[in-house]
Structure 1
Amino acid sequence: MSMVRASALSGYRELVDELGGRAEPLLERFRIPASAMSEPQGFLSYSALIRLLEQTAQELDCKDFGLRLSTRQDLGILGPLGVAVRNCETLGEAMQCASRYMFVHSPAISFTPHAAERSDRVLLVFQILLDKHVGPSTQVTELSIGLVVRIIAMLTQEAAPLVGVRFRHLSCASMGSYRAHLGAPVSFGSDVSAVELDMGKLALRIQDASLQLRELAEDYLELRHADPHTPLSIRVRLVIQRSLGTGAASCIDVASAFALHPRTLQRQLRREGTTFEKLKDEARSELARGYIANRDLPLSRVAALLDYSEQSALTRSCRRWFGQAPRQLRAGQLAH
């Protein structure tokens, strides 16, 4: 059964209430626990979500229910994927990141960049990947496309990269509703459901993006869905290196990223001939030279970035690694 994060229903109960309906009987009909509303990290059946939204739109006589629900959601429903997307450098990178990791939100859907008929345009195509046809999916498609439009506007500060929206299905709501929610020309009966973007706008920079946050989020996504043949020690060292200086590089923190007890993590690392402490020391050593060479970084800050509580601990480690104290190492690098 293909699943989707329960956060896909964010705002559902409130919208149903606002339209004069009751959410619980609808959820129960499709065997979706009411607790999903308060447990967004959980998962529910994607087929059930499709049927729920279609039935809700019909019973409440709200043909644009999916579009309305999209206005109550944002990047936050994507969890760690949302963090990675929000902190990409450009809109184009954000699209690639979302496409690569969308399966983490739900393996039942994809958003993939495709060439458009015009060379200066690109399509971000939405697809439902279920093996079995579950009936009409108009509402979930409009919810998904509407949410993407909102996310693009947020990432680009409404710099108008969107030039059109396409739906495979026929229009089911008023054109006024589509214009209000999507803010771009809409066509129906298309070969694909997609948003159409100006190719030149893919280079738009995302304000306040943090490379460190993006790398941490992508590391998390990779680790939770990693190739099982990749040695644990390699994955642990990567997490340590990304986490140093964030206050989350302890054995407990790193073990938590792998959903392991710290003792279990240590035991598995010993089987690979290493320890958490050794991996952390190697990660610190690898980063130290670059930090020390940066004259704009006080050595007290270097110590903090390497997760040392005192500068004297950095000094002792540098002497062990490089045979010199940090000040001597910095002076030598500057002399060259």
Structure 2
Amino acid sequence: MPAAPVPHSAIFAQLAARHLLTQGFTPAAVFAGTGFGQALLNQEEPAAPFTAIAGFFSRAAELTGDPLFGFRLGCASDLRLAGLLGYIARTSPTAGCFLRNIARYAGVMSDAWDVDTSRLASHGEFAWSCTAASGQQADQYTEFLAALFFSALREAAGTRIEPQEAAFVHQRRRGAEEIAAFFGCPVRFAAPASRIVFKPEDLDLPLASGDRLLLRVLRAFGDQLLHGRGLGRKSTDLTAQVEEAVSARLSGGTASLANVAADLGMSPRTLSRKLARAGTSYFTVLEELRKALAIRYLRESRLPLSEIAFLLGYSGLNSFSEAFRRWTGQSPGQFRGG
């Protein structure tokens, strides 16, 4: 007997249904053939198979005749509707931390997404793939989520972040220009992978909604939920967690072992011991992250060297220059001009 489909949060299917009803569509038209009924409208924590949720968004696009239904709804929606995941993202201190937390806690809402930030520091790449449906089956829902999270990031940063590029694996015949105008960068469809590539300086933007103390509490709850659902693997890479915590504190000059350990809910001694077991150290993680960020800043931005030194948490340009010579054998100025 085949296993029943795993349920995923259907809060956004509920949002889409309510939106359609306000547009004058009848309940019969909204729910016909979707696997949902009017009971969806009053459920506090609706859940459904991922294919039903993605299919509901596709059905809504057909019903309205709007090929950008998901995208436009995402632009106009509130990230707080995502519950714990939305609040974790909003309380992140920086844009980069916002993106890492989305990747880390996406499983709180659904395990249908494989979100990858392993190249975020070095290449500015935030990538994702849908593991529960083909790209074209989930195109409306994918664009909804991309617009929702990106709009929330801009709002929290208080500026119109414009990435270097964006790409989606699904095809789009109409409306590509509007999506490109929203992102403010070239957008490719039918691409090999879905991703958004951010400018290095944008990842360090502070978020007005950031709250380190609240974030620590929310993340602890999120880790418990992931562990209970058998998804703890996504949050057990200690080196990645340390890198994330360091990234959030670098520009403030507070990325000390003691502060980062406290952010992760442990003592400096415990963190050092666990990192040693993983074959690394706090200093190594800090240095490798600073090196990757420095190279990217110098290659892809026009920031003054003094500003780069500040963003990397150095007390001054001389300290940064000495470290960069140790890493590359060149001064930052020589590397940029070479």
| 8 A contact 1:145–1:194 mirrored in 2 | no
- State the one-letter code of the partner of 1:164: E
- Taking the aligned partners of 1:139 and 1:129, their CA distance within structure 2 comes to 16
- Taking the aligned partners of 1:2 and 1:125, their CA distance within structure 2 comes to 23
Q: Choose the corresponding residue for 1:102, options 84, 102, 106.
A: 106
Query: Cα offset for 1:175?
Result: 3.6
Question: Matches of residues 169-248 of structure 1 in structure 2 within 5 Å?
Answer: 169-226=170-227
Greater CA deviation, 156-165 or 174-183?
174-183
- Taking the aligned partners of 1:47 and 1:69, their CA distance within structure 2 comes to 19
| 8 A contact 1:96–1:113 mirrored in 2 | yes
* Offset from partner CA, 1:196-223 (integer Å, 9 cap, x none): 2112321111124211211111121123
Query: Cα offset for 1:30?
Result: 1.9
| 8 A contact 2:58–2:140 mirrored in 1 | yes
Residue identity over aligned pairs, in percent, reads: 16
Residue of structure 2 in register with 1:82 after alignment:
86
Change over 3 Å in CA distance of 1:208–1:61 after alignment to 2 = closer
- Taking the aligned partners of 2:137 and 2:56, their CA distance within structure 1 comes to 11
Question: Matches of residues 293-312 of structure 1 in structure 2 within 5 Å?
Answer: none
Q: Choose the corresponding residue for 2:76, options 67, 72, 76.
A: 72
Change over 3 Å in CA distance of 1:154–1:228 after alignment to 2 = closer
Change over 3 Å in CA distance of 1:125–1:159 after alignment to 2 = same
Choose 1 or 2 for highest CA Rg: 1
| 8 A contact 2:171–2:190 mirrored in 1 | yes
Whether 1:46 and 2:50 are equivalent positions in the alignment is yes
- Taking the aligned partners of 1:156 and 1:6, their CA distance within structure 2 comes to 28
Residue of structure 2 in register with 1:21 after alignment:
25
| 8 A contact 1:2–1:106 mirrored in 2 | no
Aligned residues: 228
Change over 3 Å in CA distance of 1:201–1:25 after alignment to 2 = same
Change over 3 Å in CA distance of 1:212–1:228 after alignment to 2 = same
Change over 3 Å in CA distance of 1:95–1:18 after alignment to 2 = same
Change over 3 Å in CA distance of 1:227–1:38 after alignment to 2 = closer
- Taking the aligned partners of 1:12 and 1:74, their CA distance within structure 2 comes to 13
* Offset from partner CA, 1:48-82 (integer Å, 9 cap, x none): 01112212212322111111221232221221122
Change over 3 Å in CA distance of 1:40–1:178 after alignment to 2 = farther
| 8 A contact 1:5–1:40 mirrored in 2 | no
- Taking the aligned partners of 2:162 and 2:175, their CA distance within structure 1 comes to 24
* Offset from partner CA, 1:131-153 (integer Å, 9 cap, x none): x6596222112112211221221
Change over 3 Å in CA distance of 1:213–1:69 after alignment to 2 = same
Q: Choose the corresponding residue for 1:3, options 3, 7, 19.
A: 7
Gaps of 5+ in 2: 231-338
- Taking the aligned partners of 2:175 and 2:181, their CA distance within structure 1 comes to 10
For normalisation by structure 2, the TM-score amounts to: 0.59
| 8 A contact 1:81–1:98 mirrored in 2 | yes
* Offset from partner CA, 1:205-250 (integer Å, 9 cap, x none): 1124211211111121123333699xxxxxxxxxxxxxxxxxxxxx
Matched residue SS, 1:144 = helix
- Taking the aligned partners of 1:192 and 1:228, their CA distance within structure 2 comes to 27
Whether 1:157 and 2:168 are equivalent positions in the alignment is no
- State the one-letter code of the partner of 1:112: D
- State the one-letter code of the partner of 1:190: A
Greater CA deviation, 2-11 or 20-29?
20-29
Residue of structure 1 in register with 2:95 after alignment:
91
- State the one-letter code of the partner of 2:130: I
Query: Cα offset for 1:35?
Result: 2.8
Gaps of 5+ in 1: 230-336
| 8 A contact 1:6–1:42 mirrored in 2 | yes
Residue of structure 2 in register with 1:125 after alignment:
127
Matched residue SS, 2:164 = strand
- State the one-letter code of the partner of 2:138: S
- Taking the aligned partners of 1:28 and 1:126, their CA distance within structure 2 comes to 31
